[in-house]
Amino acid sequence: MATVGLVDHYRAFASYNARFNRQLYDLAGTLSDEVRRRDVGAFFRSIEGTLNHILLADRIWLGRFRDSGYSFPALEEAELVYEIQGLDVPVARSFAELTASRIDTDQVIIAWVEDLADLDLGDELRYATTTGETRAHPMWIAVSHLFNHQTHHRGQVTTLLKQVGVDPGVTDFLPFALRR
């Protein structure tokens, strides 16, 4: 029986992430701008605000990885974020632009995970938080956080979709992984 390593795990999550994001964006795209942007008291106010936050956070983390001193060719030309005014700053002017940016970033994440194969994920990652605090911990913790953060907030989006009468369908990782 073969052993599955962390990079294999991250490859599966990168594919799942892209598929799940596409599913949620397709569903959110069936809603009017008013419904998608309505402040319903969520952490990032609305469906669109939460989707925006996930993309912004992904680009912040990918920027930290790119500036880490390790070689990540997949991140060299990617549109990333290095300085922010807040965790809810709009990434795009329209939902169509947000969707296109999400698709592009998902492809970057899929390619970047391949770059991780040559890295010791126990190596230290050093970066500054959004408040300027310096942090250092093993790379695997940050990579795991990237995927966990997405899952956390996408769960909120599925709840918000259900509240406006849209069924997000099956969203668990297990059925996705078993279909592969």
Report if residue 110 sits inside a domain: yes
Domain that holds residue 89: 6-179
Question: What's the pLDDT at 1?
Answer: 46
* pLDDT for 9 beyond 60: yes
* pLDDT for 117 beyond 90: no
Q: Measured between alpha carbons, how far is 123 from 168 in angstroms, rounded to an integer?
A: 38
Report if residue 1 sits inside a domain: no
Total number of domains in the chain: 1
Report if residue 62 sits inside a domain: yes
The rounded mean pLDDT for the chain is 92
* Average of per-residue pLDDT across 34-58: 96
Which tens digits make up the pLDDT trace of 65-116? 999 999 899 999 998 877 777 777 888 999 999 999 999 999 999 999 999 9
Report if residue 53 sits inside a domain: yes
Report if residue 32 sits inside a domain: yes
Can you give the CATH number for the domain in which 147 is found? Answer: 1.20.120.450
Overall pTM surpassing 0.85 (yes/no): yes
Question: What's the pLDDT at 4?
Answer: 63
- Residues in CB range of 35: below 8 A, 6 or more apart: 47, 164
